[in-house]
C-alpha cells in the first residue's frame, strides 16, 4: 500500500469498513459556535465512544495534539482552507472570498491522516475560480506528499436557490467535479432522495461520507438520516451540530456508532438515548 492508502484507511473501521466522523472545525469560519466553546471537552470524549475521525483546524490540531498521541485515537482530518463568510467575526452571511490557510507540508508535520477543502458553488465567479484553482494545486501537493484529499462540495452561493441546495442532480454534478479535481474522499451534502443517493454512490468511484444537514430538534430524525444514508451505500457520516449541540451528545455518538458499524436500525439505536 502507498502512504496515501495507509492514511486513508485510518479513517475507516477495520471490521465494518465504515466511518463515524464528528467534526470540531466549525469555529474556523464562525467563531465560538454553540456547543464548541471549549473544543477540548468534545475531543476528549471521542476515543472512548468509538469515533473514527474528527475534523480540526490547524490551530486546534496543534494545541490538542496530545489527545491523539497514542494508539487507538481517532484519525484527524485537517481543514486547510477558509471561506470568508463575513467581514465581521462570528457572523455568517455569504462567501465573499476564499483562501488556503495551510499546506500539505503542515499536515505532514502535524501528523494528520487527511486534508479537507470546500468546493463552493454558486458564488461570485472570480472567487469560484480561485477556489477551483487552489483545490487543483492542492491536489497536486497531495499526490506528491502521499496525503489523502477530502473535498466537500457545497451549494452555498446566491446563484443557487435555497430550495435547490440539496437537489440530487446538482449534488451529483458537484461530486463528479470533485472527483475530477482529484478527491480521494467526498464529504457529500445531504440528499433525502434515497434512490438518487444510491445512484450517486454507485456512480462515484471514491468513498462518500455524508453530512447530516441542519441542526434537527428530534434525535430520532438524526438517527433516521444516518440509517437511510448507510442503507444507500455511503461509507460513513459526518455529524457535527447534531451531535455536539445536544445535551446527550455522548449517547447520540453511541447510537450513531451502532447504526454505522453494527447496522442496527434507527429505532433500535434510539433505545439508548
Q: What is the pLDDT along the chain (273 residues), one digit of tens a residue?
A: 899 999 999 999 999 999 999 999 998 888 888 888 999 999 998 888 889 999 999 999 999 999 999 988 999 999 999 999 888 988 888 899 999 999 999 999 999 999 999 999 999 999 999 999 999 999 999 999 999 999 999 999 889 998 888 899 999 999 999 999 999 999 999 898 999 999 999 999 999 999 987 789 999 999 999 999 999 999 999 999 999 999 899 999 999 999 999 999 999 999 988
Task: Quote the DSSP letter at residue 258.
Answer: I
Question: What's the CA gap between 128 and 55, in Å, rounded?
Answer: 23
Strands 149-154 and 208-211: unpaired
Question: What's the CA gap between 93 and 96, in Å, rounded?
Answer: 9
CA atoms within 13 A on the CB side of 188: 38
Task: Quote the DSSP letter at residue 109.
Answer: H
Hey, is 70 helix, strand or coil?
coil
Could you state, in order of their start, the residue ranges of all structural domains in the chain?
A: 3-270
Superfamily, domain 3-270: Aldolase class I (3.20.20.70)
> Which stretch of DSSP H or E encloses residue 39?
helix 39-46
Provide the pLDDT for residue 166: 87
CA atoms within 13 A on the CB side of 270: 13
Amino acid at each position: 500500500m502507498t502512504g496515501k492508502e495507509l492514511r486513508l484507511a485510518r479513517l475507516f473501521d477495520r471490521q465494518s469498513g465504515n466511518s463515524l466522523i464528528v467534526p470540531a472545525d466549525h469555529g474556523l469560519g464562525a467563531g465560538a459556535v454553540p456547543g464548541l466553546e471549549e473544543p477540548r471537552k468534545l475531543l476528549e470524549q471521542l476515543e472512548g465512544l468509538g469515533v473514527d475521525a474528527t475534523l480540526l483546524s490547524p490551530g486546534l490540531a496543534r494545541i490538542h495534539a496530545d489527545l491523539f498521541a497514542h494508539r487507538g485515537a481517532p484519525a484527524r482530518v485537517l481543514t486547510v482552507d477558509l471561506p470568508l463568510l463575513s467581514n465581521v467575526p462570528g457572523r455568517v452571511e455569504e462567501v465573499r472570498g476564499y483562501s488556503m490557510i495551510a499546506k500539505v507540508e503542515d499536515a505532514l508535520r502535524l501528523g494528520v491522516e487527511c486534508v479537507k477543502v470546500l468546493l463552493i458553488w454558486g458564488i461570485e465567479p472570480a472567487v469560484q475560480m480561485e477556489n477551483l484553482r487552489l483545490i487543483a494545486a492542492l491536489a497536486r501537493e497531495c499526490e506528491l506528499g502521499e496525503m489523502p484529499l477530502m473535498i466537500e462540495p457545497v451549494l452555498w452561493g446566491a446563484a443557487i436557490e435555497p430550495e435547490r441546495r440539496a437537489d440530487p442532480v446538482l449534488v451529483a454534478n458537484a461530486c463528479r467535479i470533485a472527483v475530477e479535481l482529484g478527491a480521494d474522499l467526498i464529504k457529500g451534502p445531504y440528499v433525502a432522495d434515497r434512490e438518487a443517493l444510491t445512484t450517486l454512490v454507485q456512480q462515484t468511484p471514491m468513498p462518500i461520507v455524508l453530512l447530516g444537514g441542519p441542526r434537527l430538534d428530534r434525535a430520532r430524525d438524526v438517527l433516521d438520516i444516518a440509517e437511510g444514508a448507510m442503507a444507500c451505500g455511503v461509507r460513513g457520516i459526518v455529524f457535527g451540530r447534531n451531535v455536539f449541540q445536544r445535551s446527550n451528545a455522548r449517547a447520540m455518538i453511541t447510537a450513531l456508532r451502532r447504526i454505522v458499524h453494527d447496522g442496527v436500525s434507527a429505532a433500535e439505536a434510539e433505545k439508548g438515548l
